[in-house]
Amino acid sequence: MNGLKASRSNAIIGFSGALLLPILLVLLSKGLPDSDGWLYFREIIWWLFAAVIAFWALRVEGLFPAGFGFRKPAVKSVLLGVGVGLAAMFTIGLCYALIIPALGGDSDPSKMQELAKRPIPLLLFLSLTAGVVEEWLFRFYAIDRLHFLSKNKWLASIIPGVVFIGLHAPGWGLSHLIPVTLLTVIFTAYYWWKRDFWSSALAHFITDAIPFVMFALALQYGR
């Protein structure tokens, strides 16, 4: 019984940290200079957060990487990750082209245009952070731990998903929450279907990286 209580206590601490640390970072980031150097630094902080939670899961909770979907990538899983990423990217385009205007929302592309001015290596780093760190914190760790605590897949999926969606509001605006919500549904469903971390991370990376780089190339070299 003591071991079970310790496991639940550790899971509660780890789950809380996986969600609260990103919230803290987003809140502390408000109003700070939006320079390239700061963006690199902010992304490094995200990686440090992910490393802390990984250390907690593996060393404190005594869990195994394979239990979180960390396994050797296979050709099939890579191809599936690419396919899911392209489908998710198409979903974003559909939202901005049709769904948001139909709902009377603002599909202002100013945020994407602002990002397009950044160096392409920075955009790729941003996308890599989204793919690896966000999938780890909000899907593969948070969902796993909350499912362990609650034994309810819906609850385990919804709470981390709501936090993930809400964290996009300060930087992107409310209209962007529509495609983010759909992407959250896609990535969460893919998590439950395959439980393959690297495939999910690849899908998420593609979803962000291709639009970012395409906009940047169009802006920087399309004149």
**Mean of pLDDT values over 74-87:** 96
Give the model's pLDDT for residue 117. Answer: 83
If pLDDT is split at 50, 70 and 90, which confidence band does 6 have? low
Give the model's pLDDT for residue 120. Answer: 92
Task: Dump pLDDT digits (tens) for 93-103.
Answer: 888 777 777 76
Give the model's pLDDT for residue 96. Answer: 79
Structural domain range at position 105: 2-221
Give the model's pLDDT for residue 52. Answer: 97
Percent of the chain with pLDDT over 90: 65
Count of structural domains within the chain: 1
**Mean of pLDDT values over 102-122:** 73
Q: What is the DSSP string of 192-213?
A: HHH--HHHHHHHHHHHHHHHHH
Residue 155, pLDDT > 70, answer yes
Q: Which residue spans within the chain are E strands per DSSP?
A: none
If pLDDT is split at 50, 70 and 90, which confidence band does 29 have? confident
Give the model's pLDDT for residue 130. Answer: 95
Chain mean pLDDT for the chain: 89
Residues belonging to the chain: 223
**DSSP secondary structure code for residue 73 in this structure:** -
Residue 12, pLDDT > 90, answer yes
CB count, 10 Å around CB of 29? Answer: 15
If pLDDT is split at 50, 70 and 90, which confidence band does 109 have? low
HSE (CB half, 13 Å, CA atoms) of 183?
31
End-to-end Cα distance, the chain: 68
**Mean of pLDDT values over 53-61:** 96
